[in-house]
Amino acid sequence: MKLKVKLVDILTGYKVVLLNKSDAMNFGVRPHDRIKIKTAQKDLTAIVNITDSYVEQGEIGITPTMKEIFNFQIGDTVEIVATSIPLSMEYIHKKMAGKSLNQKEIYTIIKDIVEGNLSELEIAAFVLEQQFLGMNTDEIEYLTRSMVETGEKIDFDEPAFDKHSIGGVPGNKVSLLIVPIVAAAGLLIPKTSSKAITSPSGTADTMEVLAPVSFNAEELKGIVKKTRGAIIWGGSLNLAPADDLIIQVEHPLRIDPTSQMIASIIAKKHSVGIDNMVLDIPVGAGTKMETMEEAEKFANLFVEIAKRLKITTYCAFTYAGQPVGHAVGPALEAKEALEALMGGGPTSLFEKATGLAGLLLELGGVAQENRGQEYAKEILRSGKALKKMREIIEAQGGDPNIKPEDIPIGEHVASLEAKADGYVTQVNNRSITKIAQAAGAPRDKGAGVVLHHKIGYKVSRGDTLLNIYAEKESKLHEATAIATRTMPIIVEGMLLQKYPKFGGKI
């Protein structure tokens, strides 16, 4: 069947095309089936969506992304032919049956994901298998190597360092302090980050408030050559490209399986030439690792996979009983990070950032063992880290003179007030995350939450416990409803309970 190319300006999955309902019926395809598109340059496989309004009979709808990647010309005629179900689906079914996969089978799945031969539903099946059935150590290694081998690689010709967090604790903007501290000490730290999956803001989301984060490999090398550091989005580098396609599926499912998390982190680090890294594992209620036992089990597995790919890794278990600092959400976190670099900011942010940076300084041999944090604090207090951060912002195309007050935040604001006198005894990470996401974070940069009181703070009735910021009034209402329902901050008096109750016998 020959069809005329039409541009359809909609957001949809990678390598997805639209067919008219009548053409689809005549051709014998249903939604999510595959077709092969034959072009003058090459053949490609695409997933079918069906419509009776966006494209007419005789047309094939191509998204702007596909037009750019495959150089489609509007009005050109292409031929579509039937194609078979990829072999990788057989391996996905094998894993569904509880059987282990070998290296070739996992590579085939990852290759088909990258080449667009699997639909988002089929990728979701692969992710859910990992969530509920898990993977053994060898399978995780195969998954990691497959993700590396199906993308590009970068080599900086010298030892490169990085810090990464598995996430799970809101407000974790420490990389915006760590990178300039480590770079100011002379170590090479090309920080690549994913955008948020389950959190209100990933490092790339927060940095994007201050400067662009999308660069190709040569641009990244140029930035790092100038500044010794960078904070960019890994998805623009074509490093382990399967990861970003899988993340698109994980995001609506709100899951991040252990095997996929480990493979994702290590594949990206290996692809960008990282030799040494510190992994931040937040531990506490409402995080990915709620107990030290879980955290230690994860760390052992992570270090083993990293060792197999020749990355020296140290894991740092960090307190995560409440958000890091007071701000949650891209713009709010960027403001707080700048304030900390300028000598202000909350103690929790200062201590965590310098602690993790100190481990990297020790790993890089520029600080003695157990003296790294002290050196990191010296770099931060001296203003060297702020100067370096401004260099990085400028090299990435941002305004190096930006001040915290220059950063716009959501204009719609609501407050949650204390109902009684007492002390803050609990801050619920999951609740804070849900509130910030409902307010619009991370997509709406100015959305999020600011906590005015954390665990141990004394409060009086009517005090503001937190502010919710949103760019859209409708999202503010939704976030406020969640805050009222979930009680993100618990205030209790020193007297917890009376016994027996009044009227009882003593």
**DSSP-derived 3-state class of residue 20:** strand
CA proximity to 276, closest of 284, 266, 291: 266
* CA-only gyration radius of the chain, Å: 25
- pLDDT, residue 84, reads 86
Query: What secondary structure letter does DSSP report for 85?
Result: P
Write out 207-233 in H/E/C secondary structure.
HCCCCCCCCCHHHHHHHHHHHCEEEEE
Query: pTM for the full model?
Result: 0.86
Identify whether the C-beta of residue 178 lies closer than 8 Å to the C-beta of residue 415.
Answer: no
Q: Which amino acid is at 282?
A: P
Least confident span in 66-80, 88-102, 138-152, 258-272: 66-80
pLDDT in tens, 163-206: 999 988 898 899 999 999 999 999 999 999 878 777 899 999 99
- Tell me how many helices (H) and strands (E) the chain has: 18, 18
Identify whether the C-beta of residue 205 lies closer than 8 Å to the C-beta of residue 225.
Answer: no
- pLDDT, residue 182, reads 98
In the predicted model, what is the mean pLDDT of residues 93-120?
95
CA proximity to 424, closest of 376, 494, 377, 374: 494
**pLDDT over threshold 60, residue 496:** no
44: confidence class by pLDDT, cuts 50, 70, 90: confident
**Tokens 């998954």 belong to residue:** 143
| CA gap 487, 481 in Å, rounded | 10
| CA gap 232, 170 in Å, rounded | 20
Identify whether the C-beta of residue 393 lies closer than 8 Å to the C-beta of residue 211.
Answer: yes
Question: In 420-459, which positions are buried (b, 16+ CB within 10 angstroms) versus exposed (e)?
Answer: eebebeebbbebbbbbbbbbbbbebbbbbbbbbbbeebeb
**pLDDT over threshold 80, residue 497:** no
In the predicted model, what is the mean pLDDT of residues 299-315?
97
Identify whether the C-beta of residue 323 lies closer than 8 Å to the C-beta of residue 170.
Answer: yes
- pLDDT, residue 234, reads 84
In the predicted model, what is the mean pLDDT of residues 126-140?
97
The domains found in the chain, sorted by start residue, are: 2-82 (2.40.40.20), 161-233+273-404 (3.40.1030.10), 408-492 (3.90.1170.30)
- pLDDT, residue 22, reads 95
Identify whether the C-beta of residue 250 lies closer than 8 Å to the C-beta of residue 256.
Answer: yes
Q: Which residues make Cβ contacts (< 8 Å) with residue 371, sequence separation at least 6?
A: 358, 362
| CA gap 168, 430 in Å, rounded | 9
- Name the phi and psi angles at 227, rounded to 5: -120, -15
Cα dihedral 345→348→349→352 (10° resolution): 150
- pLDDT, residue 346, reads 94
Least confident span in 63-67, 209-213, 413-417, 449-453: 63-67
The DSSP string of 372-413 is HHHHHHHHHHTTHHHHHHHHHHHHTTS-TT--GGGS---SEE
392: confidence class by pLDDT, cuts 50, 70, 90: very high
- pLDDT, residue 68, reads 80
499: confidence class by pLDDT, cuts 50, 70, 90: low
Least confident span in 60-64, 324-328, 331-335: 60-64
Which tokens hold the place of 152? 């590009």
In the predicted model, what is the mean pLDDT of residues 312-316?
96
- pLDDT, residue 504, reads 55
CA proximity to 408, closest of 460, 349, 464, 471: 471
pLDDT in tens, 415-447: 999 999 999 999 999 999 999 999 999 999 999
Which is catalytic among the residues 162, 256, 275, 444?
256
Catalytic site includes residue 256: yes
287: confidence class by pLDDT, cuts 50, 70, 90: confident
Which tokens hold the place of 17? 């095309």
| CA gap 147, 305 in Å, rounded | 13
Highest mean pLDDT among 74-83, 362-371, 489-498: 362-371
| CA gap 319, 340 in Å, rounded | 19
Least confident span in 22-26, 117-121, 342-346, 500-504: 500-504
Average model confidence (pLDDT) across the chain? 93
In the predicted model, what is the mean pLDDT of residues 46-75?
89
321: confidence class by pLDDT, cuts 50, 70, 90: confident
503: confidence class by pLDDT, cuts 50, 70, 90: low
| CA gap 415, 409 in Å, rounded | 15
- pLDDT, residue 65, reads 80
- pLDDT, residue 45, reads 87
- Please state at what angle helix 175-184 crosses helix 384-395, rounded to 10 degrees: 100
150: confidence class by pLDDT, cuts 50, 70, 90: very high
Q: State how far the alpha carbon of 99 is from the alpha carbons of 105, 123, 136, in Å.
A: 12, 18, 11
**pLDDT over threshold 60, residue 386:** yes
**DSSP-derived 3-state class of residue 503:** coil
- Name the phi and psi angles at 61, rounded to 5: -85, 125
